[in-house]
Amino acid sequence: MIVVTGGAGFIGSNLVQALNQRGREDIIVVDDLSDGRKVLNLADCEIYDLVDKDVFAGWLAEGRDLGEKIDVLFHQGADSNTMEWDGAALLRTNYDYSKSLLSYCAAQKVRLVYASSASVYGRGPVFKEQRQFEKPLNPYAYSKFLFDQLVRRLSPGIRTQVAGLRYFNVYGPRESHKGGMASVAFKLREQLLESGAVRLFEGSDGYGDGDQRRDFVWVGDCTAVNLWLLDHPEVSGIFNVGTGRAQPFNDVARAVIDHFGRGVVEYVPMPSALEGRYQSYTQADIGALRAAGYDAPFLSVEQGVQQYMKWLEARD
């Protein structure tokens, strides 16, 4: 049996789909479906059961028999709103809930693969899985950092796989429910279809207009890393998941415009709420992931955005 928390969300539902493609349907999806739009992400997936996240936590606490032993728990669920400043709520959802899953997995010898975040690095400029480079700038990032720190302390005493994945800027299918937290590629497509123009921020932190750079990673590459960990139970640790190559936002805009064959780029001032908290540059150091044995390539922005635009077009 496989459990995927956040399984109706963005990365989680892509992981469920990827597991289905391997012939796995013995999947319990755990999620908060207060936003019912997320169930559409599972409409073409096959699962064993769908359970509310709080109900599932209660089951584990009471030692409920799930019918079969859980082999792997992919913990993808979280409140991913980087603009949320209710630190107490974020700690409950992202830290306390994760702690309860870690405790269960350690006691029951269930493998745990969980989602961390590149936001733990703050403004960088070094993005390497070491404490001296971790400087979270908001409560969301801190909640992810805090759990990573707990894993580091407890992992030496845990006799099963525990792996954390620090996702960089993920984009791709099944993210439309995310609203303001959706990827740049998704937002630019919506803007172009609505007005014929896409909007990027004016220059900041020494970068020109739209030339701020992020490590944009295709969601299919993220699920591939999860599946690789499924196949390699001997691998534990915290790993960056990105392409290892920073590309400017302008590249994303050009890829969207090239797909449609029309559109212009407009540059707008950065909102004051983001000043001093904006990551103008991210680039994953994927040395640890490569050293662990993962050798598959990652799609570039040009490759991934084209695939994504075609996927969205097929569903329009």
Q: Helix %, strand %, coil % for the chain, to 5?
A: 45, 20, 35
Task: Quote the CA–CA distance of 183 and 176 in Å, as a whole number.
Answer: 9
Token pair, residue 276, equals 């001093």
Count the neighbouring beta carbons within 10 Å of the beta carbon of residue 313.
Answer: 11
Phi, psi of 38 (to 5 degrees): -65, -25
Shortest CA distance to 302 belongs to which of 220, 188, 184, 216? 216
Shortest CA distance to 242 belongs to which of 131, 128, 152? 128
Q: Provide the 8-state DSSP code for 91.
A: I
Per the CB < 8 A criterion, the answer to whether 15 and 223 are in contact is yes
Indicate which residues carry an active-site annotation: 140, 178
Distance of CA 177 to the CA centre of its chain: 14
